[in-house]
């Protein structure tokens, strides 16, 4: 039973309260994660809602999104004139996928066998039904895996892997979301989806107001899947087979920083065995930035 609330949980709760989430739902999530019910209720009820600050935040968000569209228009024009080129990743240990449609790398042996086994075992200790970003709820018609919030567990190996991922991308950890682990059993899958935030204006605002869009996705396979479980990109007509220790890295945004529809991907059903993976997402703005 957790008797103290870590800083990342405090940030998570405050962000959700300010975005209009139901306090009872947040309390339930904390209880599921192992926090004491009375502690969870006391903490959630202590979060003060500053309506003026929320309105200022919304105005800043709208200004940020308006500027994004204007900047994208300018960048597209400059790109045609060959004046502007977006800086891309330089992953020396990875193989860049040869396509102008997407910035995508395959990085073999990113984790060693021992690290994969340790994290796989850790994932199984704290599983919950995986949710989908659009609705925030469990939907077995789209995603049938289980998720472990690895970043909320005290683990030296997870911390070490976190640092290695950030170092590979040359990005500060404050740009990242907490690291997750996913477990897929036979028949489980994640149908075609994208990692950037999309949908209604209110839904996009809810997820991007504070930290902006998702930029990079890092996914690491923790085991060799006997059959199935490939990561398939329809726009590329390309499947990546799960190979233990191998990482996939891709940019969810185009060169103009607008969402890239070519990043839509699918976790194909596991046909034999199981699949364990690590997933880590990065954002446009640093945690704690205005």
- Do 100 and 42 lie in one domain? The reply is no
Most confident of the ranges 59-73, 80-94, 166-180: 166-180
Structure-model confidence comparison of residues 118 and 11, the more confident one:
118
In a domain, 158, yes or no: yes
Q: How confident is the model at residue 200 (pLDDT cuts 50, 70, 90)?
A: low
Q: What share of the chain is helix, strand, coil (3-state, %, to 5)?
A: 35, 20, 40
In a domain, 68, yes or no: no
Residue 190 bridge partners (DSSP): 143, 267
> How far from the centroid of its chain's Cα atoms is residue 64's Cα?
21
- Do 37 and 160 lie in one domain? The reply is no
pLDDT given at position 2: 61
Of the candidates 130, 111, 104, the residue with the CA atom closest to the CA atom of residue 223: 111
pLDDT given at position 136: 45
pLDDT over 70 at 55, yes or no = no
C-alpha distance from residue 173 to each of 74, 191, 204 (Å):
30, 29, 23
In a domain, 73, yes or no: no
Q: What is the mean pLDDT of the chain?
A: 85
- Do 228 and 107 lie in one domain? The reply is yes
C-alpha distance from residue 162 to each of 92, 111, 166 (Å):
18, 11, 6
Q: How far apart are CA 237 and CA 245, in angstroms?
A: 23
In a domain, 242, yes or no: yes
Distant-in-sequence, close-in-space partners of 144: CB < 8 Å, separation ≥ 6: 130, 184, 187, 188, 189, 190
Structure-model confidence comparison of residues 69 and 135, the more confident one:
69
pLDDT given at position 182: 95
**Domain of residue 28, residue span:** 7-46
In a domain, 266, yes or no: yes
In a domain, 257, yes or no: yes
Q: How many residues does the chain have?
A: 290
pLDDT given at position 76: 80
Classify residue 130 as exposed, middle or buried by CB count within 10 Å of its CB (0-12, 13-18, 19+): buried
Q: How confident is the model at residue 192 (pLDDT cuts 50, 70, 90)?
A: very high
Quickly list DSSP for 157-192.
Answer: HHHHHHHHHHHHHT--GGGBPPPEEEEE-BT--EEE
Q: How confident is the model at residue 8 (pLDDT cuts 50, 70, 90)?
A: confident
Residues 78-114: b if buried by 16+ CB within 10 A, e if exposed: eeeeeeeeeeebebeebeebeeeebbbbbbeebbeee
pLDDT over 90 at 52, yes or no = no
- Do 39 and 150 lie in one domain? The reply is no
Percentage above 70 pLDDT, the chain: 85
- Do 168 and 264 lie in one domain? The reply is yes
Q: How far apart are CA 256 and CA 246, in angstroms?
A: 29
Structure tokens of 123?
């994932």
Sheet (strand 146-148) strand order: 95-96, 104-107, 247-251, 214-221, 275-283, 180-184, 146-148, 128-129
Average pLDDT, integer, range 215-221: 98
The beta-carbon contacts of 47-50 under 8 Å, at least 24 apart in sequence, are: 47/13, 47/14, 47/17, 49/17, 49/18
pLDDT given at position 157: 95
Q: How far apart are CA 229 and CA 188, in angstroms?
A: 9
Helix, strand, or coil here: 205? helix
Task: List the CATH number of the domain containing 99.
Answer: 2.60.120.620
- Do 126 and 256 lie in one domain? The reply is yes
Total structural domains within the chain: 2
């Amino acid at each position: 039973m957790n008797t103290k609330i870590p800083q990342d949980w405090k940030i998570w709760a405050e962000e959700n309260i300010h975005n209009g989430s139901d306090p009872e739902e947040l309390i339930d999530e904390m209880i599921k994660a192992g926090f004491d019910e009375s502690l969870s209720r006391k903490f959630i009820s202590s979060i003060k809602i500053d309506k003026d600050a929320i309105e200022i935040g919304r105005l800043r968000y709208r200004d940020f999104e308006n500027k994004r569209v204007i900047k994208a228009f300018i960048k597209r024009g400059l790109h045609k004139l060959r004046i502007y080129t977006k800086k891309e990743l330089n992953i020396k240990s990875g193989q860049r996928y040869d396509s102008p449609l997407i910035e995508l790398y395959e990085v073999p042996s990113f984790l060693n066998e021992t690290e994969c086994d340790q994290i796989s075992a850790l994932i199984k200790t704290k599983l919950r039904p995986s949710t989908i970003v659009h609705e925030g709820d469990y939907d077995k018609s789209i995603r049938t895996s289980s998720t472990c919030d690895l970043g909320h567990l005290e683990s030296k190996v997870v911390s070490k892997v976190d640092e290695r991922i950030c170092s590979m991308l040359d990005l500060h950890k404050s740009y990242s979301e907490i690291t997750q682990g996913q477990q897929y059993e036979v028949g489980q899958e994640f149908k075609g989806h994208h990692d950037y935030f999309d949908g209604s204006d209110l839904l996009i605002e809810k997820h991007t107001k504070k930290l902006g869009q998702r930029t990079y996705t890092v996914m690491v396979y923790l085991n060799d899947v006997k059959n199935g479980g490939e990561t398939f990109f329809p726009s590329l007509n390309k499947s990546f087979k799960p190979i233990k220790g191998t990482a996939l890295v891709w940019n969810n945004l185009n060169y103009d920083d607008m969402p890239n529809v070519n990043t839509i991907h699918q976790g194909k059903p596991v046909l034999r065995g199981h699949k364990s993976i690590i997933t880590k997402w990065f954002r446009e703005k640093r945690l704690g930035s205005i």
